[in-house]
A and B are shown apart, each in its own frame.
Chain A
Amino acid sequence: NAGVTQTPKFQVLKTGQSMTLQCAQDMNHNSMYWYRQDPGMGLRLIYYSASEGTTDKGEVPNGYNVSRLNKREFSLRLESAAPSQTSVYFCASSEGPVGGAKSFGAGTRLSVL
């Protein structure tokens, strides 16, 4: 009963490098989300996917791309990392497309130097 699994847990990048954060859920949820959390702030939505095959921008999508690979997996890609993308990233899921995220992964702590 893993819930939402994110990899990696920690990553250090140099400015300009690219990387993909992976997320998978085993709860048969339809909707998946990517958030970032900066120190002293609440979570901000980067992208979400209401169902397989659909993605929508959230509050802070610039500099990110996403892929809803299948119902289980939702990846977040940084094409050219910037120091402003230093943050903790959370993937989340929910059964339906309304009512917000219900299950979260443990987070990926990303530092961009």
Chain B
Amino acid sequence: DQQVKQNSPSLSVQEGRISILNCDYTNSMFDYFLWYKKYPAEGPTFLISISSIKDKNEDGRFTVFLNKSAKHLSLHIVPSQPGDSAVYFCAASGLDYGQNFVFGPGTRLSVLP
């Protein structure tokens, strides 16, 4: 039973537009969330995090929104660039999990020029 779901395996967006990547979780004990991006044949790159005490966190072109009641978070990339084309993973953890973050299966983003 997947505790962290990324229901869209892939997403295509035009360059300059907004990319919205979604992530849902089932465990109400999760209280800290991470987003990573991954290029082929490379390790993941940490993008941004959010704690459950906040509902939004921004870092440059990347903003993460957290809706605790819906157990949903989303990553917004504005504006999208071709270099953003990668697989994006969300990950979640909570008090009983420590550093054992549970990862979603990823969403492949393609930013079209």
Which residues of A line the B interface, CB within 8 A? Answer: 4, 31, 33, 40-45, 48, 50, 56, 58-59, 90, 92, 97-107
Contact = CB atoms under 8 A, between A and B. Distances in A.
A50 B99 CA distance: 9
Interface size class of B (residues with CB under 8 A): 20 to 34
Nearest to A49: B99
B4 interface: yes
B45 A43 contact: no
Interface in B76-111: 89, 91, 93, 98-106
A42 B102 CA distance: 8
Contacts of A42: 4, 89, 91, 102-106
Contacts, number: 63
B74 interface: no
Interface in B1-23: 4
A92 B43 contact: yes
B99 A106 contact: no
Contacts of A59: 100, 102
Given A40-B105, A42-B103, A58-B100, A99 B32 contact: yes
A41 B32 CA distance: 20
Contacts of B45: 104
A50 B103 CA distance: 19
B59 interface: no
A49 B77 CA distance: 33
Contacts of A4: 43
Given A40-B105, A43-B89, A105 B100 contact: no
Contact of B44 (A31, A41, A50, A104): A104
A100 B48 CA distance: 11
Contacts of A90: 43-44
B46 A103 contact: yes
Q: Which of B46, B89, B91, B105 has the most CB of A within 10 A?
A: B46
10 contacts: A40-B105, A43-B91, A44-B103, A48-B99, A58-B99, A100-B46, A100-B93, A105-B43, A106-B43, A107-B42
